[in-house]
């Protein structure tokens, strides 16, 4: 059995800061109804914090799992506005994104903080989905692998046992919400680089997702690449039919 067969595909919808109770109810119902027809692929959504309870109530028993878009690095205490991993576990979350480029850029999240959040998620039994990716200027100046290596370093330092329990997502910042997806070959090159780093410490079971303008019409070509194990989908995850078509690909 080759490694491609061993790693089950995973497609996660990142709703970002979109939706309300009424629109979520429709979207969740459509996802629930369509999930069974998608086949052998894990499907998940990451909702805004206030709607995680709604997602949990609606997706129970659907085969679709749910999670958050961020998590506190702290277990509990006087951290106004923060949400702990155990609170997410209390709502039966499976996942938490950590280190999304929007949080790195807008909230100054450092590589070290991202690793601390990943550890906090693991401690509560969640699977962190660790996002890495370079900006357009970093890509244009030929620094993609340096940036990715720097972002990975504090995670790699945690060792294989922890890293094997994570999921990684390569999201080139220049491809997020721009309609400008990386080509399958471009993405594969970075995924292979990430995989090599993870394998260098013996973490060989890790799923690596691609994110950045994934749509129903480019998903199949991306998923055909040997090191792309699925997708982290933004905009297209807000339309049930598009998201399900990506998962079906």
The set of catalytic residues is 100, 171
CB of residue 67 vs ligand 13P: minimum separation in angstroms?
12
Tell whether residue 11 is a contact of ligand 13P (CB under 6 A): no
CB nearest ligand 13P: which residue? 234
Chain centroid to Cα 16, Å, comes to: 12
Tokens of 134: 């370079």
| Phi and psi angles of residue 14, each rounded to the nearest 5 degrees, phi first | -105, 105
Tell whether residue 214 is a contact of ligand 13P (CB under 6 A): yes
Considering only residues 55, 176, 194, 206, which one is a binding residue for ligand 13P as defined by CB under 6 A? 176
With residues binned 3-state (H G I as helix, E B as strand, rest as coil), the percentages for the chain, rounded to 5, are: 50, 15, 35
- The contact pattern for ligand 13P, residues 71-100, with x = CB under 6 A and - = no contact, is -----------------------------x
CB of residue 101 vs ligand 13P: minimum separation in angstroms?
7
Considering only residues 27, 88, 232, 249, which one is a binding residue for ligand 13P as defined by CB under 6 A? 232
As a whole number of angstroms, the distance between CA 247 and CA 142 comes to 32
Considering only residues 125, 177, 202, 226, which one is a binding residue for ligand 13P as defined by CB under 6 A? 177
> Which residues partner with 43 through β-bridges?
11
Helices (H), 107-206: 111-123, 136-140, 144-156, 160-163, 184-200
Q: Which positions touch ligand 13P (CB under 6 A)?
A: 14, 100, 171, 176-177, 211-214, 232-236
């Amino acid at each position: 059995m080759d490694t491609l067969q061993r790693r089950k595909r995973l497609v996660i919808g990142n709703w970002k800061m979109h939706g309300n109770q009424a629109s979520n109810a429709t979207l969740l119902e459509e996802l629930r109804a369509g999930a069974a027809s998608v086949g052998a692929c894990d499907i998940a959504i990451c909702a805004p914090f206030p709607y995680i309870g709604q997602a949990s109530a609606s997706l129970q028993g659907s085969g679709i799992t749910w999670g958050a878009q961020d998590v506190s690095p702290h277990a509990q205490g006087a951290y106004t506005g923060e949400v702990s991993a155990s609170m997410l576990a209390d709502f039966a979350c499976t996942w938490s994104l950590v280190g999304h480029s929007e949080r790195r850029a807008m909230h100054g999240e450092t590589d070290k903080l991202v690793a601390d959040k990943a550890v906090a998620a693991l401690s509560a039994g969640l699977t962190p989905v660790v996002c890495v990716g370079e900006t357009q200027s970093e890509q244009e100046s030929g620094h993609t692998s340096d940036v990715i290596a720097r972002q990975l370093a504090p995670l790699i330092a945690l060792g294989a046992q922890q890293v094997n329990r994570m999921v990684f997502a390569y999201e080139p910042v220049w491809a997020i919400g721009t309609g400008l997806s990386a080509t399958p070959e471009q993405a594969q090159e970075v995924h292979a680089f990430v995989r090599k780093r993870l394998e260098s410490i013996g973490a060989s079971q890790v799923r690596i997702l691609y994110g950045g303008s994934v749509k129903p019409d480019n998903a199949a070509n991306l998923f055909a690449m040997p090191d792309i194990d699925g997708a982290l989908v933004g905009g297209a995850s807000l339309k049930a039919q598009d998201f399900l078509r990506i998962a079906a690909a």
